[in-house]
Structure 1
Amino acid sequence: MTTLTPILTTFWDDPQSWTLDTYTHHEGYQALDKALGMDPADLVAMTKSSGLRGRGGAGFPTGMKWSFLPPPDGGPRYLVVNADESEPGTCKDIPLMLAAPQFLVEGCVITSYAIGCHHAFIYLRGEVVHVYRRLLRAVEEAYAAGHLGKNIHGSGFDLDLTVHAGAGAYICGEETALLDSLEGRRGQPRLKPPFPAVAGLYARPTVVNNVESIASIPPIVLHGDEWFASMGTERSKGFGIFSLSGHVAKPGQYEAPLGITLRELLDMAGGMRDPNHELKFWTPGGSSTPLFTAEHLDIPLDFESVAAAGSMLGTRALQIFDDTTCVVRAVDRWTDFYMHESCGKCTPCREGTWWLKQVLGRLERGQGDEEDLEKLLDVCDNILGRAFCALGDGATSPVTSSIEYFRDEYLLHLSEGGCPFDRDASTLFAKEHVTT
């Protein structure tokens, strides 16, 4: 059985885990000393050879993204950390920043040194004020200790780090919309190319990485790329934070090697919340990834295996639903979110998510007919691959996968004139009441 690998989460249970003193007691900033004694190009090469892939959803190799920056031309270049975590079910970066923010701060310094950046930014979702304050305090402590600012650790390297609170838009999790928001404009995706590596923040070369990606850099530098690559699978290396929520006995953050299965994680989490009910469906990477069912309990949770099974590892947000849950209602609620959060820039997403909501709402109420299922699939087909960014594609995932695995449940809503999981609205339960 795969065991947990507490690295970023190793001292979360400390009474003051967020302080610089606690972090320093747990090897904090030793990696920075080691990094400042290395050639920046060697740091990029180490990150490449470690096999670290982006922990924000897409899984793009982190070191390769750094290497896309053009040669220095004398002008500024930037590091921007995407901390705009806001997809339903995704909840790993916020607890990491709340419990151990210095991992992220040290990772920012090392990454900035590696790519030649002298001003880095952390773009945080604005609603999480408590996390914003904690990050500000962590940065303040790092400045006071000489880990940020001028001549860091006597190396001659300078870095300023700015924590920016966003205005609360899911679309700003898309890297180019984030950059527009950071520049003071409305957060909407940019046309690519040019990519941020060439023309990003203020039209300068920019690296945009997820919180967990950057926080993983200090352990890699300190313990070595081979140490990191020894965990996980051949193509999905290292460890990651798996967020279990929903109908599970012990929801929370489980840090484990990539390739662990949900069956193993559920065993660690005490199984289902109610042992009298069974697992019905779950998300492997948040609400924007195609659903899995109990048949997928033993799929290794790595990028390749999950993709081969028809979904995406995404942010490893494992939302667990038992057999008391109406899948139609769950998908309808997620579609509410995607319709509301569409930025409106492109027609497929702006109009498509609205129509998905109308049809799903009708089906959930037991109205419409079987042809509405084909209409849903047709709308999804007109969004997928045609939207300006990935938000539209993500909105189609729970719809198409739920119809694939739970078509009978959609039809049951029609035949019973309402949701069979709601006693007040369903004729199914009314019939049972009469017969008894």
Structure 2
Amino acid sequence: MTTAAVTPASLSEAEILRLREDFPILQTQVNGHPLVYLDSGATSQRPFAVLDAERDFATTMNAAVHRGAHTLAGEATEVFEDARSALAGFIGADDDEIVWTSNATEAVNLVAYSLSNASAGRGGPEADRLRLGPGDEIVTTEMEHHANLIPWQELAARTGATLRVIPLDDDGALRLDVAAELIGPRARLVAVTHVSNVLGVINPVEKIVALAREVGALVLLDACQSAPHLPLDVRALDVDFAVLSGHKMLGPTGIGALYGRRELLEIMPPFLTGGSMITTVTTTEAEYLPPPQRFEAGTQKVSQAVALAAAVRYLQNVGMPRIAAHEAELGAHLVDRLSAIDGVRVLGAGIGLPRVGLASFDVTGIHSHDVGQFLDDAGIAVRVGHHCAQPLHRRLGVTASTRISTYLYTTRDEVDAAIDGVARTIDFFRRA
């Protein structure tokens, strides 16, 4: 007998209000109004647990990790590695498959430059499978954040490989029929976002991975907009690499991570070189530590990693399935109400795919900066511009958009306040 899947319960209004007490910035005012923060897709806010974790590390055990033999250094190293373990467990990886970076952009570049170094003959014969050259192809999509596009442009330029781009249909959905053609025998790497930072849609990663597996291509997943909002299991998704940023998931800035399959990290040549990632050094050559330390040159982001671990535990305590359910409700509400306003076009609204609590829109005759400024005057923080996704905006026929993005601490009343503000904006400019 089969059992029907149980939809996780969303967060109740009372639970959200209780959670909001953990975020001191949400108690502030902007321009004389209570802050309505709807820009979590860019940077999320931090609860006391995260702020306290970083401060406690700095005041009780601040020391360099993996270096000193004294007690403080040992304690710092232990909590640093505990943080790695916490993040690994959060995304379904092993501890030694997590590499600390400054942000997701650095993580993508780490992979791109490591492949460049392998292509230049570094890494020995084990790295042969990573080498790119003329005739090889890198495949990405038309909806990518610039951080998951430009590094591949540069890798193609350095190696002579060709960059191919999966296009979108008129509603902003990936053209999977074209993807099946582009991810062919010459494809060596496929780089795709899990959730679009403009459209909010959850891409069919499993289908993209299946196409890549048929031809032996590697897959890198941009999880910046999924790790904070959805249950994420890199093993279940069967990706080879995944990148994320701490500041989008209740953590501090200056910390991100790369997940890489152990067998790949073991054959990848390093990107940054220097101290802390070596075993033996002479004046003419060096031998490198095994991963992940091989990719962590120099003084590490210790207090930030500790704070990110606190953020991970906070999210786990709330429950990622419940956060996802809450955001799915807000996302649907966003699209429904925005689409009902005359003159508003929600980007990607008609594709009928699952989404997180994020939507971008264009207002006929009004620049997104003007919309954002009008809302900001009322204390409502949203994102305006091209959101580091110019090719996507160009494909959809706009130069910029206004983006509303929610999180676990966002209430429906806040979403309604922003949508009502959009309607007032349109009325104001029409009258003007």
> Higher strand fraction: Structure 1 or Structure 2?
2
Q: Structures share a fold, TM > 0.5?
A: no
What's the TM-score once normalised by structure 1's chain length?
Answer: 0.27
